[in-house]
Amino acid sequence: MNNQDLLIEIGTEELPPKALFSLSKSFRQEIEKGLKKHNLGFVQGATYATPRRLAVLVKDLQAMQDDVTIERFGPALKAAFDEEGKPSKAAEGFARSCGVEVSQLSEKDDGKVCKLYFKTARAGEPIHKLLPEIINEALSALPIPKRMRWGSSRNEFVRPVHWAVVLFGSEIIPASILGIESSNITRGHRFHHPENLTLAAPGDYEKLLSETGFVIPDFNIRKEMIRHQIQAQAKTINARVVIDEDLLDEVTALVEWPVALIGSFDERFLSVPKEALVSSMKKHQKCFYLEDENGNIKPNFITVSNIQSVDPEVVINGNERVIRPRLADADFFFEQDKKVSLASRTDKLKTVIFEQTLGTLFDKAQRVANLGPYIANAIGADQASVVRAAEIAKCDLLTGMVGEFADLQGIMGYYYASHDGETEEVAMAMNEQYMPRFAGDDLPVSKTGMVLALAERLDTIVGLFGIGQPPTGSKDPYALRRAALGILRIIVEKKLDLDLSLCITKAIDQYSVLTVTDGLHDSVQDFIFERFRAWYSDEGVPANIFQSVYAVRPTAPLDFDLRIKAVKQFSMLEESAALSMANKRVSNILSKLTLQPPLELDNKLLTEPAEQRLAAKLSELLVEVEPLLASQNYTNALSSMANLQKDVDEFFDQVMVNTDDEQVRNNRQSLLQQLRHLFLQIADISFLQNT
């Protein structure tokens, strides 16, 4: 049999749009995994995904497995037979595993000893015998959190399955796929071409569907088609369409034959905050919004229809009728919410539980209001603004707008605070308290916003750790890992000179209900600083550089970051390898001592020229490096320390540390302690040996 192309298509009812692309990708990966498992050669083809189908095209697939010669060695002959020549249990077990009798086994030297030996030839199987199992295993392995049944069938899948294509060249491979018998029959668009389409060969699939069936099966081609269409529509009214890539993916997963149409809404709705209009159009209507040349939202939207109507105005009017009440709701909530100030809603926070043990949102607001001024004082922010912002920070959660559009929390707080006459600093903090909301998101701009964002996250992490609810494995219901990373990003990227250890202590002091107090401070501190590990890994910083800084436990994130950069620079110096090795050696020597030697030296006991030179160089460096360390200029400090390499090497080459003379031995250990202490003021560079 010759190699042929293979097409597998699973036809379903409408698949969940947000999961379509990942399902499609996983389906291809699982099919390819199954083919490789059965040693079938192929060339990667194409992946197809629409609301009603998942399909994979495999090119030049091997029609039959290659014949395989199987060779196995069993136990050594000494262990295979007893003195009378009878087979042992080991020999019998090996024979059973090979499916033969002991008498059918032969003997062979494996290069070390003579052993029982089994050899057989296994004929390859044809593709039509292997594919049904490969396909069904692939479907079972798809990442589907909740499967469903349909009709009287006990088959389960993400949606009911209505047809299945398994076509190898021009041959239909018989297979039962989730209760459906395979064929070469696919289906076109539900409305434009509901009739069946017969496939003559896998390579005809994409062309037949797009030219006859009114289906664009390739997800990425369909996506770019939509992008081009909505941009073209925007140009017709001299506007710019704002393309949210997640929304574009979702819309792509909702249509098989995309047709972009532009509609409009009443200009009076433009008085509603832009974010509310956008949320309404995106979340409820899956529409794209438009801006003018100045970035102002226009009273228009673009929708992507799944049909090509003979009268597009009917479709546009239908979308306008649907979107109008959604915008009217947003307008109503905005006007109603403004009648009551944020501050007047404070008491109602007492009725909203933050966490059963940790109390209400009112309790949380009070804790943040107490913690905030401490952080504000440390970074030079206005304490009064921080307290005011903390007191009203969660009040917008009680508004009608946020109740309807939860993703607008903080954003609406800004608008309502501005309307209430709060200062710009306080109003900005309403939104900035949630920044960064996700990886790569913007950070707070105002100092009040920075303080509020830090205090709010610290309060949450400390509280949940304090009642024994830290993240476990993949479970992180309160997104504490994201909160910790947000803390680090704000402090480092905004260059805030803030000691996190002291802030954690202050945050713990705000609570009186914590049940886990032993080691709480260190647990929280370690949890937050551990987020740096992934951060630096993403930046290409080797793990041993991170560990070298982490080992000395600096408690200020900005200081931690400066040390990382300095050690990374130091690791590139020619002297770094020898010095890190020497530090490793010093660490090993000192770790074996019951008592650590003092840093003071007795120069009279320095008898060897090499130790005298090292002591003199260390003394000289201490004076040079001290101001550099004080100003956190760790890069230059380590660069200066690199000059120790020659003296350190000579010391270990020419001086015996553990001499018989106790006073001399102790003094030399003190010299090593002084050397190690110098480096430990920045990092434990002995970890640089762990490459």
Task: Give 352 or 151, the one with higher predicted confidence.
Answer: 352
- 584: tokens are 């490793």
Q: How confident is the model at residue 1 (pLDDT cuts 50, 70, 90)?
A: low
Average pLDDT over residues 194-213: 96
Rg of the chain on CA atoms, in Å = 35
Distance CA 298, CA 328 (A): 16
Q: CA torsion sign, 285 to 286 to 292 to 296?
A: positive
- DSSP reduced 3-state for 471: coil
Looking at residue 373, its pLDDT comes to 97
Average pLDDT over residues 432-458: 96
**What angle is formed at CA 637 by the lines to CA 634 and CA 638, rounded to 5 degrees?**
90
The owner of tokens 């886990």 is: 516
Long-range CB pairs of 679-682 (<8 Å, 24+ gap) are 679/579, 679/583, 679/641, 680/552, 681/552, 681/625, 681/629, 682/549, 682/552, 682/563, 682/566, 682/567, 682/629, 682/634, 682/637, 682/638
| pLDDT, tens digit (0-9, with 9 covering 90-100), for 274-298 | 999 999 999 888 999 999 999 999 9
Buried b (16+ CB within 10 A) or exposed e, 588-611: ebeeeeeeebeeebeeebbebebb
119 strand-pairing partners: 71
Distance CA 543, CA 690 (A): 9
- Residue 313 makes CB contacts below 8 A (sequence gap 6+) with none
pTM, to two decimals: 0.81
Which phi-psi region, left, alpha or beta, contains residue 511 (left: φ > 0; alpha: ψ -120 to 50)? Answer: beta
Q: Which of 540, 520, 274, 516 is nearest to 415 (CA)?
A: 274
- 316: tokens are 């546009």
Distance CA 387, CA 375 (A): 11
360 strand-pairing partners: 353
Looking at residue 103, its pLDDT comes to 84
Q: Which of 275, 282, 270, 266 is nearest to 401 (CA)?
A: 275
| pLDDT, tens digit (0-9, with 9 covering 90-100), for 666-690 | 889 889 888 999 999 999 999 997 6
What is the percent of the chain where pLDDT is above 70?
Answer: 100
| pLDDT, tens digit (0-9, with 9 covering 90-100), for 318-359 | 999 999 999 999 999 999 999 999 999 999 999 999 999 999
Number of alpha carbons in the 13 Å side-chain half-sphere of residue 671? 30
Q: Which domains does the chain have, with CATH numbers?
A: 4-64+126-211 (3.30.70), 76-121 (no CATH), 219-337 (no CATH), 357-399+410-540 (1.10.3210), 561-689 (1.10.730.10)
Q: How confident is the model at residue 163 (pLDDT cuts 50, 70, 90)?
A: very high
Q: CA torsion sign, 516 to 518 to 520 to 523?
A: negative
Distance CA 348, CA 187 (A): 56
Alpha-carbon distances of 75 from 85, 95, 97, 149, 166, rounded to whole Å = 14, 10, 12, 51, 46
Distance CA 417, CA 423 (A): 8
Phi, psi (5° rounding) for residue 475? -90, 120
Looking at residue 358, its pLDDT comes to 96
Distance CA 48, CA 24 (A): 7
Q: How confident is the model at residue 166 (pLDDT cuts 50, 70, 90)?
A: very high
Q: How confident is the prediction for the chain on average, in pLDDT?
A: 93
| pLDDT, tens digit (0-9, with 9 covering 90-100), for 42-99 | 999 999 999 999 999 999 999 888 877 788 888 888 888 887 788 888 888 988 988 8
Which phi-psi region, left, alpha or beta, contains residue 532 (left: φ > 0; alpha: ψ -120 to 50)? Answer: alpha
DSSP secondary structure string for all residues of 131-182: HHHHHHHHHHTS--SS-B--TT----BSS-EEEEEEEETTEE---EETTEE-
- Residue 392 makes CB contacts below 8 A (sequence gap 6+) with 342, 343, 345, 346, 365, 413, 417, 422, 426, 430
